[in-house]
């Protein structure tokens, strides 16, 4: 088995788990007062909005599907459905087809489950998503999303990677004692939902994990995600990473298995 095949085999169970979670979210009851009815392009929709951004987190066709794909659904066709959904739901979702990037597309028992990242200036928006399922008739009945309004991306990165990495390493207690390794990294857009008003940072996102034997077997915690501002070099956020989830900022797709990642980085 090649390295790519090994990574794909590890990713698939996680992608399925995420897809099932999305289905449960979209299938939730429509409690009175939580949804509003919106009509766009001749289509009546039930909409629930993010209280912070006022952008819909759930959109559901009231009387008919949001989109129906004709004919048999093959993967290439399913992947392109993201652009159709975005076009259909504009201006409810402030996106264009060029502002989404495939996260995962999985077929489970005849149904397709698809999710996308939101992109801003060529960078993944952390925590963003646009997801939906296609039934056997090619119908998309609902969407679930975490989408952010207009994001201004800095014109240039002012802090180099080496400086940012050193800052991230210093932020982790016992980094050298536990032999942490950098297993994933990316430059992304980080929305600070705690700020008022909502604020965005362009950050270096570093994921560090110690070897499995350095951790207590009963502990669910495994590593750290450190987010360093590309403009100031300050730490914007730090998050505990958990064993089942592995790395949280791969270039694309679901997180990889932590132990497999660690093995592949030995000696680096």
10-residue mean pLDDT series, the chain (268 residues): 38 41 41 78 94 94 91 82 94 94 90 94 93 93 94 95 95 88 89 92 91 63 88 95 56 44 46
Q: What is the pLDDT of residue 202?
A: 97
Instruction: Examine residue 153 and state whether it is found in any structural domain, yes or no.
Output: no
Q: What is the pLDDT of residue 222?
A: 74
Q: What is the pLDDT of residue 95?
A: 93
Q: What is the pTM of this model?
A: 0.80
- Are residue 70 and residue 172 in the same domain, yes or no? no
Q: What is the pLDDT of residue 17?
A: 40
Q: What is the pLDDT of residue 231?
A: 98
Q: Any idea what the CATH number is for the domain that residue 123 is in?
A: 3.30.310
- Are residue 261 and residue 220 in the same domain, yes or no? yes
Q: Which of 119, 146, 173 is the last residue of a domain?
A: 146
Instruction: Examine residue 112 and state whether it is found in any structural domain, yes or no.
Output: yes
- Are residue 127 and residue 29 in the same domain, yes or no? yes
Instruction: Annotate the chain with DSSP letters as a single string.
Output: --HHHHHHHHHHHHHHHHHHHHHHHHTS---TTT-EEEEETTEEEEEEE-TTT--EEEEEESSS-SEE--S---HHHHHHHHHHHHHHHTTTS---GGGEEEEEEEEETTEEEEEEEEEETTEEBTT-EEEEEE-TT-EE-EEEEE--S--PPPSS--S-HHHHHHHHHHTSTTTTTTT-EEEEEEEEEEEETTSSS-EEEEEEEEEEE--GGGS-TT--EEEEEEEEETTT--EEEEEEEETTT--S--SSSSPPPHHHHHHHHTT-
State the total domains in the chain. 2
Domain hosting residue 51, numbered range: 3-146
- Are residue 128 and residue 236 in the same domain, yes or no? no
Q: What is the pLDDT of residue 210?
A: 84
Instruction: Examine residue 215 and state whether it is found in any structural domain, yes or no.
Output: yes
- Are residue 56 and residue 12 in the same domain, yes or no? yes
- Are residue 133 and residue 174 in the same domain, yes or no? no
Q: Which of 91, 119, 146 is the last residue of a domain?
A: 146
Q: Any idea what the CATH number is for the domain that residue 178 is in?
A: 3.10.450
Instruction: Examine residue 11 and state whether it is found in any structural domain, yes or no.
Output: yes
């Amino acid at each position: 088995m090649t390295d790519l095949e090994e990574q794909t085999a590890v990713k698939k169970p996680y992608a399925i788990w995420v897809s099932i979670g999305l289905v449960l979210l979209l299938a939730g009851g429509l409690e009175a007062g939580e949804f509003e009815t919106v009509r766009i392009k001749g289509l009546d929709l039930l909409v629930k909005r993010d209280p912070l951004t006022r952008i819909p987190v759930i959109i559901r066709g009231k009387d008919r599907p949001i989109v129906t794909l004709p004919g048999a659904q093959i993967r290439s066709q399913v992947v392109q459905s993201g652009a159709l959904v975005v076009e259909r739901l504009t201006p409810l979702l402030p996106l264009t087809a060029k502002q989404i990037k495939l996260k995962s597309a999985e077929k489970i028992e005849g149904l397709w489950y698809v999710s996308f990242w939101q992109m801003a200036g060529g960078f993944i928006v952390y925590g963003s998503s646009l997801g939906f399922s296609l039934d056997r008739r090619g119908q998309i009945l609902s969407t679930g999303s975490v989408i952010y309004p207009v994001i201004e991306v800095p014109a240039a990165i002012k802090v180099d990677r080496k400086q940012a990495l050193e800052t991230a390493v210093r932020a982790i207690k016992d980094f050298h004692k536990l032999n942490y390794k950098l297993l994933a990294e990316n430059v992304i857009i980080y929305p600070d939902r705690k700020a008022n008003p909502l604020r965005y940072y362009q950050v270096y996102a570093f994921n560090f994990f110690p070897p499995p034997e350095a951790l207590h077997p009963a502990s669910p915690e495994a590593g750290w995600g450190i987010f360093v501002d590309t403009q100031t070099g300050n730490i914007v956020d730090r998050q505990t990473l958990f064993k089942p989830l592995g790395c949280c900022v791969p270039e694309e797709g679901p997180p990889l298995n932590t132990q497999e990642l660690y093995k592949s980085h030995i000696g680096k």
